[in-house]
Amino acid sequence: MAKTLRQTDDGTARELEYVTDPDEQLEKKPGTRYGAAELGFRHYWYPAFLSRQLGKKPKSVMLLGENLVFVRANGRPYALFDRCVHRGMQLSEGKCWTEGTITCPYHGWTYRLRDGELIAALTDGPESAVVGKKGKGVRSYPVEERNGVIYVYMGDGNPPALEEDVPEELLKPEYVFEAVTSVWNSNWRPAVENGYDASHATYVHRYSLRWRTQFNLPPAWAGKVESQVEGKYLIQRRRGPFGFEANYPGFGLWPRHAWLRKALAKARKKFGPKGTPMIAGVRLPCLIVNHYSYYSHIRYSIPIDAKHTRNFQMLAGRFHGLKALAFRLQYWLWHRWVFHKWFNEGQDKWIVEHLDYSAPEQFFRPDSSIVQLRKYFEKNARTSDPIDGMKE
């Protein structure tokens, strides 16, 4: 096995066994569940919209490769398959003439939002023979609205309780959160993997204002990265020895210009909050969750189609009253721009969109995070569609 030199945080160089055992790699094989899940795992609740994004006007969205139309009626949201069974027109272009129905803009076939039943064909008269006929409705999807988010279940059979799938920070009333949605031009898997990737952050985000100002000195590397399943999450812990700066043979000193980070680290030691370091977790079906000292960052990376991902990023904290207000204010004045927009929507999005996810891979030591993530998805994904040749 190849060896490499590495400098530890006490400044000594040690020879260590290098990188990857090839058997440890989990490739993106089409024969695996994860490899085949180009359009995600269906049997989960997914956020579709923020409540504020949906009114009485029908709205289309593609999720998991399927076109849906959402509309609000009688104060609650509904979702139907966005295709008229008559000639295939998009229902989302239609109108809701009466509360609880949607009418196709082409020939006026009208569906009940609650269950997708065809209840009228306006251009064939009130006695139309197609009404009430089997197979003339469109599929309707279970929808729930909780704390400002609209969730949809697109799997088979009865959905599980929302609490089974959605982090408690988004459901329990003691939390407040703010959110931003966006679309990334990539498959959902590299987007999720990026959020759990143990070695990219100190390089990709090296100049981000977020890290430079959080009174912390993120180590440039860690001796070991471990993952383990804790409840519904796969949790990552970076273990020492940590390196903050080193001379690389043939290259020189890295990171460069570390004086500010060092000064901030000193200041933190003296004045900053003690508390836990950041904890990174991943969770089915497509969630990244990072816990910081007083808030959690939650990112859903939901497949739209094979090449696009819909991201919901939320910052959640356990606050109420004035503190909740202060948290929201801090989000809108700082975290939304510095963290969500610059750090994630800027730097991480850019990386993921420039990655060829179909390329063969060569792993190195920190990629144990990626291997463990893929194993976790492979083993734990809820599905009723076993891949051909795979044993359940």
Task: List residues binding ligand FES (CB under 6 A).
Answer: 84, 86-87, 89, 104, 106-109
With tokens 């977790």, the residue in question is 281
Residue nearest to Fe ion as judged by C-beta position:
348
Partner from Fe ion, ligand FES, none contacting 348, C-beta within 5 to 8 A by type: Fe ion
Residue whose CB is less far from ligand FES, 63 or 91: 91
Q: For residue 328, what are its two tokens?
A: 């929201």
Find the shortest distance in angstroms from Cβ 342 to ligand FES: 44
Partner from ligand FES, Fe ion, none contacting 339, C-beta within 5 to 8 A by type: none
Residue whose CB is less far from Fe ion, 182 or 380: 182
Residue whose CB is less far from ligand FES, 127 or 388: 127
Partner from Fe ion, ligand FES, none contacting 106, C-beta within 5 to 8 A by type: ligand FES
Inter-residue contact 89 to 105 (CB < 8 Å): yes
Pick left, alpha or beta for residue 132 (phi over 0 → left; psi -120 to 50 → alpha; otherwise beta).
Answer: left
193 is a contact residue toward Fe ion (CB under 5 A): no
Please list every residue from 98 through 137 that binds Fe ion, using CB under 5 A.
none
Residue whose CB is less far from ligand FES, 104 or 166: 104
Partner from Fe ion, ligand FES, none contacting 86, C-beta within 5 to 8 A by type: ligand FES
Question: Of the listed pieces 9-17, 126-134, 224-232, 343-351, which binds Fe ion according to CB under 5 A?
Answer: 343-351
Partner from Fe ion, ligand FES, none contacting 318, C-beta within 5 to 8 A by type: none
Residue whose CB is less far from ligand FES, 78 or 188: 78
Residue whose CB is less far from ligand FES, 88 or 250: 88
Q: For residue 58, what are its two tokens?
A: 């029908």
Report the candidate in 143, 150, 145, 82 with the shortest Cα–Cα distance to residue 111. 82
Inter-residue contact 242 to 265 (CB < 8 Å): no
Look up residue 235 and give its amino acid: I
In sequence order, which residues have a C-beta less than 8 Å from that of residue 25 and are 6 or more positions away?
361, 363, 371
Residue whose CB is less far from Fe ion, 112 or 291: 291
Partner from ligand FES, Fe ion, none contacting 109, C-beta within 5 to 8 A by type: ligand FES
348 is a contact residue toward Fe ion (CB under 5 A): yes
With tokens 């058997």, the residue in question is 23
Question: Of the listed pieces 87-95, 98-106, 341-349, 384-392, which binds Fe ion according to CB under 5 A?
Answer: 341-349
Residue whose CB is less far from Fe ion, 103 or 301: 301
Inter-residue contact 328 to 341 (CB < 8 Å): no
Inter-residue contact 341 to 200 (CB < 8 Å): no
With tokens 């991943």, the residue in question is 282
Find the shortest distance in angstroms from Cβ 123 to ligand FES: 8
Find the shortest distance in angstroms from Cβ 86 to ligand FES: 4
Whole-angstrom CA distances from 350 to 190, 192, 260, 263, 272 are 12, 14, 25, 29, 32
Whole-angstrom CA distances from 222 to 135, 196, 199, 219 are 59, 15, 9, 7
345 is a contact residue toward Fe ion (CB under 5 A): no
Strand positions, DSSP E, 53-133: 59-63, 66-73, 76-81, 101-103, 109-112, 118-121
In sequence order, which residues have a C-beta less than 8 Å from that of residue 274 and are 6 or more positions away?
none
The sign of the dihedral angle between the CA atoms of 69, 72, 73, 76 is positive
Kindly give the residue spans of alpha helices, DSSP state H, lying in 258-387: 259-271, 321-330, 349-353, 368-380
Partner from ligand FES, Fe ion, none contacting 84, C-beta within 5 to 8 A by type: ligand FES
Q: How many residues bind Fe ion (CB under 5 A)?
A: 1
Residue whose CB is less far from ligand FES, 111 or 377: 111
Find the shortest distance in angstroms from Cβ 108 to ligand FES: 6
Find the shortest distance in angstroms from Cβ 290 to ligand FES: 45
Find the shortest distance in angstroms from Cβ 362 to ligand FES: 51
Question: What is the CB-side half-sphere exposure of residue 300 using CA atoms within 13 A?
Answer: 26
Residue whose CB is less far from ligand FES, 128 or 182: 128
With tokens 């229902």, the residue in question is 91
* Contacts with Fe ion, residue ranges (CB under 5 A): 348
